[in-house]
Chains A and B, each alone.
Chain A
Amino acid sequence: MEKFILKYFTLIRTLIAILVGVIISIVLIYLISKTPAYSLKQFLLGPILSKSRLANVFENASPIIFCGVAIAIAFQAKQFNVGAEGALFLSAAIGTAFAVSTHMPALPHVILILVVAGLTGAAWGWIPGVLKAKWGASELVSSLMMNYVAYFLGLYLINSHFRDKSAGFLVSLPLPKTAWLPQIIPGTRIHVGIILAVIFALLGYYFLYHTTTGYEIRTTGNNDKFARFGGINVVKVVILSQVISGMIAGFGGMTEVMGIHHRFNWQNSPGYGWDGVIVAIIGRNHPILIIFAALFLSYLRVGSQVLNLMADVPSELVAVIQAIIIILITAEAFLSQWKYKITMKQASLEEAGNESIA
């Protein structure tokens, strides 16, 4: 048992953090709600009690998976590029602009739009990457700034050039049908995007753990001096990891537009990039774990929306819980005492075992 704990310590710690978060939310619900049992049921089971809500879980998870994988690839190279938000926003805007100004059959249209969005995101990741690799400028600050530039640039593009003046809101012209991602489950908004998201997560996993470039990224993140010593071109890796990260975030933004809204309708930045940071941390930068982390986060979100709608507890409960979960996961010293005790106990057991053999 204790050996098991040591082996899977990080995973167990993550689960404990999640558990603490959920327990706190239950306590909060009991404190606030006049009908706690009902509220709790809505929160925990709400998302699976109706088909449309369950569908919501998957719809919402899709862009979060994209952004989580994007962030994870940069984080694996130890690049704190948090520019997924901006890459997603601008890629969606430029992709939309491209989509409404071109006409062609469905499949090539969809592919070309995604290529345009991906390239936009890649370019967006390249800038902080180069600034970091060549001159050592903090990618954290530059990518934060890039988020704002992307936001204003995207809004300008849509509001000034591709605005649908007949609509009552600030939205872009609608995408032609050829640019829509097909729905996969009738009666819901679940579209091909979720499949693409899962595919990208699997590709991300494959890329990081089964390709030479992924190996270069992880090795550079683990110890960049060692990577250079072994002959890896660290400058290239630092840039590339951020370019790929931006590209995947770009796909995420565009699929959201093509699959759900069918036009660009964001006037505020949607926040998926930050959600990506959350699920990357919960999923410990592992793309497959990120799928589950995103579904978990999305489930909590939908649960809280149900709670908001059906009971007397605001949905922001989730923001509080996810913050607690994350801060516990990142706190290295959290539970380290416990681990230390087990390690020491194991060590003395082993020693005793060795002595008895001798």
Chain B
Amino acid sequence: MESILQVNNITMVYPAGVIANKNVSVDVTEKTIHAIVGENGAGKSTLMKAIFGIIHPQEGDIIYKGKKVNFKNPDDAINVGIGMVHQHLMLAPDLTVAENLILGVEPRKGSLFLDTDKAVRITKEVSERYGLDVPADKKIKDLPIGVRQRVEILKALYRNAELLILDEPTAVLTPQETVILFKTLFRLKENGKTILFISHKLSEVKQLADRITVMRDARVITTEDASDVTEEEIAHLMVGRDIDTARLDPPEKMGGVRLSVKNVSYIDDENVQVLKNINFDIRAGEILGIAGVDGNGQTELIDILTGLSRPTEGSISMDGKNIAGLSPRQVRELGMSHIPEDRMENGVADTASLEENFIVDRYYKKEFSRYGKLDWKYIRKYSKELIQKFNILTQSSRTPAGSLSGGNIQKVVVARELSSDPQIIIAAQPTRGVDIGSEELIHVLLKDARDSGKAVFLISADLDEILKLSSRIIVIYNGEITAHFKDVSKVTGKDLGPYMLGVKKEEGAHGEIHS
């Protein structure tokens, strides 16, 4: 069989200096299902964006059906027969299935009018041709996610896509919907389509793909026939590390349980069960790490712990007091602090000064204000101390937070969250996207917090970080805890990988101390 797409030595460096793809080459054979797997940040999405013309790599070229192509934008890619199904579906909720399908290439009556009947007919035709059942005249907002995704696939097929790119298509689906999607994809392959499939769920990949490309650290590690590798082997290739990362010394003395999560479940607005019966404890003086690929329920878990949302079921007790459903202020008052996943969204107000960013959780306390009057003199002095202590590079304490570099903004967040004398620290992706110097500083600070008897909960997609800092590790996959490592001294990335990727599962795993 012939190759439909060849990616040759693509290198993509983002303006901030992050190397997202380094000499990446992939060869996709027509009429196959080709999977690209890798951890978060391995460079899969960048590669897809480059193929689809959304971004433009500095080096390398792309050959489609034997011809070198140079897409200026996704339109160019669509025109030669490449279709993409985005993870966040690109559909207008109040339009019908048929209307969404023909949007941009509308059939017309005369030259002025929309031919709605024809649109419905087209929808039925396309849907029959590929065996993808959709209700043509129903509005998108009235359909479940799985059906919406099918509309998105039909959209690409209607635009004559020969090569279909699916970006983590199963992330939003229920198991039944996933089964249906796979049958669909097989059928499309039989129909002569080529499918490029991004995933980190290895069981799926193994089931579905003919060939598998593994990416790690912006590079392609290998491309293999799916029948030649086992899930364990793929997991090892993805995680990669044999080198033992430097570990913190284990904590010297540990106290009692500070935070105890019992039977927590959460069902989101889309009616998806995001968390299933989560149980774990965190003791004073330890760092509990939670390893997992992004999007397996970590965000929701953090929101529940910090009072930003309420669990559907279960309890969270902090020093014996149930805090589920308390407000963020109440939870913070009890001694919790929170380094958020996304610093620009939750961690700072970018147009406000550093001073104002430092006091968001404490401006009402008596050092900072009296009878409702802010003590700016003290706040300024206090801010300058934090800037110095946490080595934040800024012109002054009155500089808007948004004008600092990413690493320094993160230090602002960390400085605030660690200076409130917290008892429990929820640290989510504490070093994501920061320079090495800041990363080291933040790691030292978390270690100091641990050693001074605080309970730290570390959420990170970066395995090295989890392995380096954690005193114990739990693994989350698809909203469930799939493993608990009490002794981390011998644990490597390769041990965690299979649990993170859903290949292995400890039945009834939890992170509790007793039992």
Q: A225 to B346, alpha carbons, bound, how many Å? A: 6
Which residue of A is nearest B370, CB measured?
A212
Contact with B along A215-237 (1 / 0, CB 8 A): 10011001101111111110000
Contact with B along A228-249 (1 / 0, CB 8 A): 1111110000000000000000
Q: A231 to B417, alpha carbons, bound, how many Å? A: 13
- Contact (Cβ within 8 A) A226 B360: yes
B363 touches which one: A212, A222, A223, A233 (CB < 8 A)? A212
Given A210-B376, A227-B360, A219 and B328 contact (CB-CB distance below 8 Å): no
Given A212-B364, A231-B327, A218 and B352 contact (CB-CB distance below 8 Å): yes
- Kindly identify, within residues 64 to 92 of chain B, every residue whose CB is under 8 Å from any CB belonging to chain A: none
- Kindly identify, within residues 317 to 355 of chain B, every residue whose CB is under 8 Å from any CB belonging to chain A: 327-329, 332, 338, 340, 345-352
- Contact (Cβ within 8 A) B349 A222: yes
Residues of B within 8 A of A229 (CB): 306, 308, 328, 338, 340, 346-347, 360
A223 touches which one: B328, B329, B350, B359 (CB < 8 A)? B350
- Contact (Cβ within 8 A) A222 B372: no
Residues of B within 8 A of A230 (CB): 328, 360-361
Which residue of B is nearest A210, CB measured?
B374
Given A211-B373, A219-B360, A226 and B328 contact (CB-CB distance below 8 Å): no
Q: A327 to B326, alpha carbons, bound, how many Å? A: 45
**Which size class do B's interface residues fall under?**
20 to 34
Residues of B within 8 A of A212 (CB): 363-364, 369, 372-374
- Kindly identify, within residues 142 to 169 of chain A, every residue whose CB is under 8 Å from any CB belonging to chain B: none
Tell me whether chain B's interface is mostly helix, strand or loop, or mixed.
loop
A33 within 8 A of B: no
Q: A231 to B360, alpha carbons, bound, how many Å? A: 8
Which residue of B is nearest A211, CB measured?
B372
- Contact (Cβ within 8 A) B360 A222: no
Residues of B within 8 A of A215 (CB): 356, 359, 363, 374
A213 within 8 A of B: yes
Residues of A within 8 A of B361 (CB): 230-231
Tell me whether chain A's interface is mostly helix, strand or loop, or mixed.
helix
Distance between B34 CB and nearest chain A CB, rounded to angstroms:
39
Q: A350 to B352, alpha carbons, bound, how many Å? A: 25
Which residue of A is nearest B331, CB measured?
A231
- Contact (Cβ within 8 A) B348 A223: yes
Q: A300 to B348, alpha carbons, bound, how many Å? A: 41
Distance between B325 CB and nearest chain A CB, rounded to angstroms:
15
Q: A222 to B376, alpha carbons, bound, how many Å? A: 19
- Contact (Cβ within 8 A) B351 A222: yes
- Contact (Cβ within 8 A) A232 B345: no
A228 touches which one: B308, B350, B352, B376 (CB < 8 A)? B308
Q: A213 to B369, alpha carbons, bound, how many Å? A: 11
- Choose among A210, A222, A227, A229 the residue with the greatest number of B CB atoms under 10 Å from its CB: A229
Contact with A along B352-393 (1 / 0, CB 8 A): 100010011101100001001110100000000000000000
Q: A53 to B252, alpha carbons, bound, how many Å? A: 80
- Contact (Cβ within 8 A) B349 A231: no
Residues of A within 8 A of B332 (CB): 231
Residues of A within 8 A of B352 (CB): 218-219, 222-223
Distance between B454 CB and nearest chain A CB, rounded to angstroms:
19
Q: A84 to B327, alpha carbons, bound, how many Å? A: 33
Which residue of A is nearest B359, CB measured?
A215
B327 touches which one: A210, A213, A223, A233 (CB < 8 A)? A233
Q: A215 to B359, alpha carbons, bound, how many Å? A: 10
Distance between A221 CB and nearest chain B CB, rounded to angstroms:
9
Which residue of B is nearest A220, CB measured?
B349
Q: A230 to B364, alpha carbons, bound, how many Å? A: 12
Residues of A within 8 A of B347 (CB): 226, 229
Residues of B within 8 A of A223 (CB): 348-352
Q: A226 to B361, alpha carbons, bound, how many Å? A: 10
- Contact (Cβ within 8 A) B345 A213: no
- Contact (Cβ within 8 A) A231 B329: yes
- Kindly identify, within residues 104 to 150 of chain A, every residue whose CB is under 8 Å from any CB belonging to chain B: none
Q: A218 to B328, alpha carbons, bound, how many Å? A: 19
- Kindly identify, within residues 38 to 83 of chain A, every residue whose CB is under 8 Å from any CB belonging to chain B: none
- Contact (Cβ within 8 A) B360 A210: no
Distance between B476 CB and nearest chain A CB, rounded to angstroms:
22
Q: A212 to B329, alpha carbons, bound, how many Å? A: 15
Q: A315 to B505, alpha carbons, bound, how many Å? A: 80
B329 touches which one: A225, A226, A233 (CB < 8 A)? A233
Q: A222 to B363, alpha carbons, bound, how many Å? A: 16
Q: A228 to B332, alpha carbons, bound, how many Å? A: 12
Q: A232 to B308, alpha carbons, bound, how many Å? A: 11
Distance between A135 CB and nearest chain B CB, rounded to angstroms:
16
Residues of B within 8 A of A213 (CB): 372
Residues of A within 8 A of B328 (CB): 228-231
- Contact (Cβ within 8 A) B372 A226: no
Q: A228 to B360, alpha carbons, bound, how many Å? A: 9
Residues of A within 8 A of B306 (CB): 229
Residues of B within 8 A of A219 (CB): 349, 352, 356, 360
Distance between B372 CB and nearest chain A CB, rounded to angstroms:
5
- Contact (Cβ within 8 A) A232 B360: yes
Q: A215 to B365, alpha carbons, bound, how many Å? A: 13
Residues of A within 8 A of B373 (CB): 210-212
Distance between B332 CB and nearest chain A CB, rounded to angstroms:
5
Residues of B within 8 A of A222 (CB): 349-352, 356
Residues of A within 8 A of B345 (CB): 225-226
17 new A-B pairs (CB below 8 Å) besides A211-B373, A215-B356, A223-B350? A210-B374, A210-B376, A211-B372, A212-B364, A212-B373, A212-B374, A215-B359, A218-B352, A219-B360, A222-B349, A222-B350, A223-B348, A228-B328, A229-B306, A229-B328, A229-B347, A231-B329
A to B CB contacts below 8 Å, 27 in the list:
A211-B372, A211-B373, A212-B369, A212-B374, A215-B363, A215-B374, A218-B356, A219-B352, A219-B356, A222-B351, A223-B348, A223-B350, A223-B351, A225-B345, A225-B346, A226-B346, A226-B360, A227-B349, A228-B308, A229-B306, A229-B338, A229-B346, A231-B327, A231-B360, A231-B361, A232-B360, A233-B329
The 9 A-B residue pairs with the shortest CB-CB distance in the complex, in nearest-first order: A230-B360, A231-B329, A222-B349, A223-B349, A229-B346, A231-B328, A230-B361, A226-B349, A222-B352
